[in-house]
Amino acid sequence: MGIGSVFLWLTILPILSGIYFSIKYVRTSMGEYKKYAKISTYLTTLIFTFSFGTFMYHCLTANPDIFYSYYHSLPTFPWFYKLSSVWAGRIGSVFLWIFIVIASLGITEYWFSKKDTKTQELLNIGRPITLLIILLFTLILIGSKPFTSTSAELLARAAAQPNIPNDLSINLLKTVWVRAAGMNSMLLSPWMLVHPPVLFIGYATFTIPMSASFVYAITGRKDWFKLSKIWSRIGWLFLTIGIGIGALWAYVTLGWGGYWAWDPVENASLLPWLTGTAFLHLQARYEKTKEYKYLAHAFTFITFSLVIFATLITRGGLQISGSVHAYGGGISLIKNLLYWTLMGAPLVVGGVLLWIRYKKEN
């Protein structure tokens, strides 16, 4: 097990401790639990950053011994193609998604540490929800084996193909799964350097607004928007820019007909943008007049579920026929279930809690 895998597995410990200490603090109001929960968040950020940094290093150096970098990067690539290979594949995209969510939580932790105690309580309640989302995505990532060796992956792929002899050498298997074959020719574009990370910042930063809606559904706190306002605006802004860049890339690469082809993946990114736009207006209206509080939260849960859906069909492995984005293969049943849990649970559980809150207040 390499250093990247060690750090990835170690990330689970501070995630679990952060969830535990946050819940203990909410139940007991003991300051020690609050301190430990905050430390757990920072440790999660630090340890996962080491793992992600190791993953990036393999891609930037085009390490042939790690299958992901072998399959997506080449020593002859310019630096920006090597960098874009980090998120060119499904595993790298999930890595990036988690890193953005963890970074946004760490930044929020720092911001809120300077605010009054009452405002800090919003994060103390929302933290375990965000960490739970991070935990599920981390389990998906671990199951994807991002640091598996090239030889082990090639042998596993050969064993899964009945038409390939079992006694082929690694060098011969490399003629079947050619180096950098995962870097589709359409991905060898300068747009690849900016479009996916910008879009994924838009996706990932809607996680904390979703947690803020859970805070309201659980506690009835009327100042929930203090936790969600900044990140929902950042998410909407980056989602808007990402969709715009993607449209321009489609026009440059595929022509005017390609731009208007309504690719399924492009539609998927448009859906959370539409509901996210509605949420921003409802949130602003609630902050000023206290109107639409239930509708605002309903749109938060819908937006987050659509974000997970867009992530699933863009890089999660859900096969969409006719999509120019359909580069990778499918995913295992367990990982599929985790994705659908991430998509459905916030919508169902959040909806039930919001209904209970509505009945209590009316």
Could you state, in chain order, the average pLDDT of each consecutive group of 10 residues for the chain (362 residues)?
92 97 91 93 97 97 95 93 92 94 94 82 93 94 93 88 80 87 82 92 95 94 92 96 87 64 73 95 93 93 93 65 50 76 90 93 84
Q: So what's the pLDDT on residue 261?
A: 61
Q: So what's the pLDDT on residue 321?
A: 44
Q: So what's the pLDDT on residue 335?
A: 75
Of the candidates 80, 49, 65, which has an alpha carbon nearest to the alpha carbon of residue 183?
80
How many domains does the chain contain in total? 2
**End of a domain among 181, 204, 225?**
181
Do both 324 and 222 map to the same domain?
Answer: yes
Q: So what's the pLDDT on residue 316?
A: 57
**End of a domain among 161, 181, 201?**
181
Q: How far apart are the C-alpha atoms of 33 and 224, rounded to whole Å?
A: 22
Do both 176 and 188 map to the same domain?
Answer: no
Do both 165 and 190 map to the same domain?
Answer: no
* Cα angle 238-244-249, degrees, rounded to a multiple of 5: 125
Q: Using an 8 Å Cβ cutoff, are 180 and 321 in contact?
A: no
**Residue 164, amino acid:** I
Cα end-to-end distance, the chain, whole Å:
56
Residue with token string 């996680």: 207
Do both 115 and 200 map to the same domain?
Answer: no
What's the chain's Rg over C-alpha atoms? 21
Do both 194 and 329 map to the same domain?
Answer: yes
pTM of the model: 0.91
Do both 158 and 273 map to the same domain?
Answer: no
Do both 172 and 263 map to the same domain?
Answer: no
**End of a domain among 181, 213, 232?**
181
Domain range enclosing 81? 1-181
Going by the DSSP 8-state scheme, the letter that residue 149 receives in this structure is B
**Residue 276, amino acid:** G
CA distance readout (Å), 98 to 89, 187, 201, 249, 352: 15, 22, 10, 25, 27
Q: Which residues pair with 38 in a beta bridge?
A: none
Do both 156 and 210 map to the same domain?
Answer: no
DSSP string, 212-231: HHHHHHHH--TTTHHHHHHH
Do both 38 and 7 map to the same domain?
Answer: yes
Dihedral-angle region of residue 255 (phi above 0 means left; psi in -120 to 50 means alpha; beta otherwise): left
Do both 239 and 204 map to the same domain?
Answer: yes
Of the candidates 317, 300, 309, 291, which has an alpha carbon nearest to the alpha carbon of residue 351?
300
Is residue 75 helix, strand or coil? coil
- Sequence-distant (6+) residues with CB within 8 A of 275 are 299, 302, 303, 306
Do both 204 and 93 map to the same domain?
Answer: no
Q: So what's the pLDDT on residue 160?
A: 81
Do both 171 and 306 map to the same domain?
Answer: no
